[in-house]
Amino acid sequence: MSETYTGGCACGAIRYEISGEPIFSNHCQCRDCQRESGTGHSSYLTVRREHVTLSGHAATWDMVGDSGNVKTRAFCPTCGLAVYLTFAGMPDLVAIRATSLDDPSRYKPQAVTYAMRGHAWDYLDPALPKFDKMPQA
Ligand SMILES: [Zn+2]
Ligand SMILES: [Zn+2]
């Protein structure tokens, strides 16, 4: 049994617990992630929805990603922190923002996605495999 991952938004109104290990951990350099993070990428742990227990009310915003698929950004209406993403085409997955973990040092990135959108100044570990877009699950 691995230790539960816990985290939430900056003000504490949204909290989550994840049982089980992430199935994918990536830095994403797509334009949406750049805009939302304020820098060159966002970092996610993708987990199975059945392993996530959420509390608190998240506001949501639907957008069409680079892939053409609808993704829903869930954020705290009080502090504004974006906590997780869900995907219309993959309803059993949740992408949690690594920086919302109570202990972000537990995050272990495995890959860089949308590297084709990355900027030279957003330098990431060259040992990580890079994908132009999002690899198909
Ligand atoms: Zn909040
Ligand atoms: Zn992205």
Give percent helix, percent strand, percent coil of the chain, each to the nearest 5: 15, 40, 45
Q: Which ligand is nearest to the CA of 71?
A: 2
Q: pLDDT digit of tens for each residue in the chain (137 aa)? A: 568 999 999 999 999 999 989 999 999 999 999 999 999 999 999 999 999 999 999 999 999 977 788 999 999 999 999 999 999 999 999 999 999 999 999 999 999 999 999 999 999 999 999 999 888 65
1 alpha carbon – ligand 2 mean position (Å): 30
Whole-number pLDDT of residue 125? 96
Does this model's pTM top 0.85? My answer is yes
Q: Which residues surround ligand 2, an ion (CB under 5 A)?
A: 28, 30, 33
Token pair 């060159």: residue: 40
83 alpha carbon – ligand 1 mean position (Å): 9
80 alpha carbon – ligand 1 mean position (Å): 6
Token pair 């040092």: residue: 105
Question: Are 46 and 23 spatial neighbours (Cβ–Cβ below 8 Å)?
Answer: yes
Token pair 């966002």: residue: 42
Taking the C-alpha atoms of residue 82 and residue 6, their distance in angstroms, rounded to an integer, is 15
